[in-house]
Amino acid sequence: MKIRTTVLVTVLALAALPAAVSADAILADHTVVAQFASLPDTVIATAKNELRMFYGHTSHGSQIVTGMQMVRDEDPFFDFNNGAGTFLFDEYSDDLGHNGDTTWVAITRTRLDQPGNDINLVMWSWCGGCSDNTEAGINIYLSAMNQLELGYPDVRFVYMTGHLDGTGPAGNLYTRNNQIRDYCVTNGKILFDFADIESYDPDGTWYPDETDACGWCSTWCSSHQCPGCSGCAHSHCFNCYQKGKAFWWMLGAMVSGMEAGIEGPEVAGPTLAQNSPNPFSPATEIAFTLPHRARVVVAVHTLDGRRVAVLLDDVLGPGEHTAGWDGLRPDGRRAAAGVYFCSLRTGDALESRKMLLIR
């Protein structure tokens, strides 16, 4: 999928702006579910022929497999583990464990080191291990995955977030999942964003306090036609269905390349609103909208491109966001009255607005 954005050239000194997010990152989150219907048959055929996966999971991770079954029931073209011409993968009954557990690493190495091994894609899922994890524990996971990538350069490894647990944005799970997302976006990894997919309904409504049971799924399906299944572990069939479609999109993105593009509906770029109030003294607020998850840098510059302040540098989800400037420089001194630029940068996209600081 190619995200089309318009780069707005300004008088800002581009060298002063942070580097773009790696173009190699593949983020399978809720925004790609709608792109599933636009996957060309040639891309899926290539994925089925070229990819062979080893997938370690327990009950929560089985939601993806159930979703794949639901997709296959609708369209046999998405068949798997049914001989030549279908997508083949091995399942292993284990998961990423809890804080600092790396037993899955040895299991992975054993499988990849088997004589005649043809695995070129590895994915492991969490089963509650993100909720009670720590920053150090997640760093162990990220480091172990990275070491596997270095040791097996011909194999692609999929990172994953943990399922929702109802603790909301203030809970530990959100912090740990954002830690994983930030790392993947910054370092160009492949991420299956398990939690993000179950956080949004197809209209884009966000359910920040949801659990993996997907309460919004029942509400959605009460007024929409949803496919059924024989059972989605811990959850609603529609949650599994969404994950199945996101998984196939991810496979398509792997074999087509994000830049080469999986053709689909054009996605609008980020938008930066005029700051308010403007003119302002002493503070103002800057609003902006993101169409998809991205690393965002909001900064203030002088007319000649010198950076005055960085208001925000973080990975944010789709939707409306704000950043404020209190007119202060990093050293705590008040900026001089005059005209400034506020810039919004997300990857290759750059927008700016003039602001007038008065005294």
Q: Domain ends where: 200, 234, 256? A: 256
Q: How far apart are CA 350 and CA 290, in angstroms?
A: 12
Same structural domain, 34 and 85: yes
Any domain includes 2: no
Same structural domain, 241 and 274: no
Q: Could you count the other beta carbons within 10 Å of the beta carbon of residue 153?
A: 7
Same structural domain, 126 and 272: no
The domain spanning residue 213 has which CATH number? 3.40.50.1110
Selection from 155, 157, 158 nearest residue 120 by Cα: 155
Q: Domain ends where: 197, 229, 256? A: 256
Number of domains present in the structure of the chain: 2
The domain spanning residue 280 has which CATH number? 2.60.40.1930
Any domain includes 6: no
Q: Domain ends where: 191, 226, 256? A: 256
Instruction: Cis check for the bond before 40: say yes or no (omega within 30 of 0).
Output: no
Q: What are phi and psi of 183, to 5 degrees?
A: -60, -45
Query: Angle at Cα 120 formed by Cα 117 and Cα 125, nearest 5°?
Result: 110
Q: How far apart are CA 241 and CA 221, in angstroms?
A: 12
Any domain includes 70: yes
- Name residue, tokens 């990423």: 96
Q: What is the pLDDT of residue 2?
A: 30
- State pLDDT tens for residues 71-128: 999 999 999 999 999 999 999 999 999 999 999 999 999 999 999 999 999 999 999 9
Same structural domain, 82 and 229: yes
Any domain includes 353: yes
Any domain includes 338: yes
pLDDT, tens digit only, all 359 positions of the chain: 333 232 222 223 222 223 233 447 899 999 999 888 888 888 999 999 999 999 999 999 999 999 999 999 999 999 999 999 999 999 999 999 999 999 999 999 999 999 999 999 999 999 999 999 999 999 999 999 999 999 999 999 999 999 999 999 999 999 999 999 999 998 999 999 999 999 999 999 999 999 999 999 999 999 999 999 999 999 999 999 999 999 999 999 999 864 334 444 444 678 999 999 999 999 999 999 987 767 788 999 888 778 889 999 887 777 899 999 999 988 888 999 999 999 998 765 788 899 999 98
Q: What is the pLDDT of residue 261?
A: 44
Any domain includes 233: yes
Q: What is the pLDDT of residue 274?
A: 93
Q: What is the pLDDT of residue 259?
A: 34
Q: How far apart are CA 207 and CA 177, in angstroms?
A: 16
Same structural domain, 242 and 337: no
Same structural domain, 61 and 152: yes
Q: How far apart are CA 69 and CA 167, in angstroms?
A: 30
Same structural domain, 251 and 281: no
Any domain includes 9: no
Same structural domain, 119 and 73: yes
**Cβ-contact 77, 44 below 8 angstroms:** yes
Q: What is the pLDDT of residue 330?
A: 82
Both tokens assigned to 7: 């780069």
Give residue 342's domain range. 14-19+268-357
Same structural domain, 242 and 280: no
Q: How far apart are CA 97 and CA 104, in angstroms?
A: 8
Any domain includes 4: no
Same structural domain, 204 and 315: no
pTM for the whole structure: 0.70
Selection from 130, 119, 110, 107 nearest residue 61 by Cα: 130
- Name residue, tokens 């997919």: 197
Same structural domain, 79 and 183: yes
Both tokens assigned to 51: 């990819």
What's at 16, amino acid-wise? A
Same structural domain, 341 and 275: yes
